[in-house]
């Protein structure tokens, strides 16, 4: 089982490393990669459903997403289907932002962070075993404060990315618990 965790966590580390590499390159090229962020209901922006999670507005934004991604990503990596969960959260969250978010440019891994959070908490409800309940309690204890990001309606914050990421995590927990 530990080999599965190692491989899954390496996948999550790889995703975060890509985010950091893209951020460094993006700084050097004057933030030109931000054109690949997501613009709701814009057909040219459809790839942004996936790419938005890798692009950030600045280093502070990336750091604030990286730390919870690495911590909650560790818990997600203990699952056999961690890669599928991660990809399903990214696609579902991105798709919901593309379809329903307010006009603007949406970027950042906050949807994935909130998706992991929603997944880890709701897995306790769907699976109802001691391990998932303990993981949900630890997640709430350390990251319970991020619930407020669901209500952060400031103009420069994609609260939709947060909300839809959280919903994508719940949907993914429901979907994947039936398949293992």
Domain boundaries, position 154: 2-177
Q: How many residues in the chain?
A: 180
Identify the CA nearest to 55 among candidates 74, 73, 31, 39: 31
Q: What is the pLDDT of residue 138?
A: 93
The per-residue pLDDT for 24 is 98
Sign of CA dihedral 78, 169, 99, 18: negative
Domain containing 79 — which CATH number?
1.20.1540.10
pLDDT at position 168: 98
Number of structural domains found in the chain: 1
The confidence score (pLDDT) of residue 41 equals: 97
Write down the pLDDT at residue 46: 96
pLDDT at residue 157, as a whole number: 64
The mean pLDDT values, 10 residues at a time, for the chain of 180 residues are: 85 98 98 96 96 96 96 92 96 98 94 97 93 92 82 71 96 86
CA distance 170 to 124: 11
Give 152: exposed, middle or buried? Use CB within 10 Å, 0-12, 13-18, 19+. Answer: middle
What is the reported pLDDT for 9?
95
């Amino acid at each position: 089982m530990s080999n599965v965790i190692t491989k899954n966590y390496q996948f999550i580390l790889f995703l975060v490393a890509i985010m950091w590499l893209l951020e460094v390159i993006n700084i050097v090229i004057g933030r030109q990669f931000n054109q690949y962020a997501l613009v709701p209901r814009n057909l040219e922006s459809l790839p942004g459903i996936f790419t938005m999670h890798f692009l950030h507005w600045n280093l502070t934004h990336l750091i604030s997403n990286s730390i919870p991604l690495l911590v909650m990503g560790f818990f997600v990596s203990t699952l056999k289907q961690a890669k599928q969960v991660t990809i399903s959260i990214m696609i579902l969250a991105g798709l919901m932002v593309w379809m329903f978010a307010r006009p603007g440019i949406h970027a950042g891994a906050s949807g994935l962070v909130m998706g992991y959070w929603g997944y880890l908490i709701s897995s306790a409800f769907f699976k109802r075993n001691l391990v998932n309940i303990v993981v949900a309690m630890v997640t709430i204890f350390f990251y319970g404060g991020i619930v407020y990001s669901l209500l952060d309606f400031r103009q420069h914050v994609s609260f939709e990315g947060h909300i839809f990421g959280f919903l994508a995590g719940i949907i993914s927990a429901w979907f994947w618990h039936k398949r293992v």
